[in-house]
Amino acid sequence: MKTYPNVFVFDHPLIKHKVSILRDKNTGMKEFRELIEEITTIMTYESMRDVELVPVEVETPLETTVQYRVPEESVAIVPILRAGLGMVNGVHRVFPTARVGHIGMYRDEETLEPQEYYCKLPEGIAEKTVFLVDPMLATGGSACDALAALKKRGCTHIKFMCIIAAPEGIEAVASAHPDVPVYVSTLDRCLNEHGYILPGLGDAGDRLYGTK
């Protein structure tokens, strides 16, 4: 697969360990949901290495010192419904005050094209660092459309995070949105004829919410 300067595939032993359990068809709903959150938290730490900090004055028990913090209300989380909801708590562990928006997409089973049915975002989102999250990046259609929807509303600082990605999805998103950093925990082999990632982990939404 062609390499892209805006794509970052993590090579973290702890993520590999957790993904191996995530893939297992015998992993139950509760553990699956917990693993999604845990992997997302690790990815959030890694993806914020370039965050801009602001100086603040802090009084310790011994003296006053200048320290650095992430500005308040500077982060928003936007899951692509519905599976993206499973990643929200993982980001919230790092940024508990982050506002949450929602973008609803579904994939036409015949054309595999994404269709938007819902979009509600926090006030002032254009000024925030936005985490767009979805566990699976398959064809890339939903992610591309969700990124376009955020940009249409003025967002300029967007980070897209997914746990499992196919090369086809990476190429689609990286080509359509070269200005958006794409963070992937695991790059899989390919898509099958039905647009599912191989080896993948099945339908993330079904496994998160027990609807299969």
Which of the residues 23, 33, 93, 107 is marked catalytic? 107
Q: Is 160 left (phi over 0), alpha (psi -120 to 50) or beta?
A: beta
Which of the residues 65, 97, 111, 211 is marked catalytic? 111
Classify 61 as helix, strand or coil: coil
Strand-pairing partners, residue 100, are 77
Residue 90, both tokens: 């993982």
| 203 counts as catalytic | yes
Whether the ω angle into residue 135 lies within 30 degrees of 0, i.e. cis, is no
Q: Of all helices (H) and strands (E), which one includes residue 209?
A: helix 204-209
Which of the residues 27, 93, 99, 203 is marked catalytic? 203
Residues composing the chain: 212
| 206 counts as catalytic | yes
| 24 counts as catalytic | no
Which of the residues 23, 93, 99, 206 is marked catalytic? 206
Q: What are the Cα distances from residue 44, in Å, to 34, 124, 200? A: 15, 22, 21
Known catalytic residues are 107, 111, 203, 206
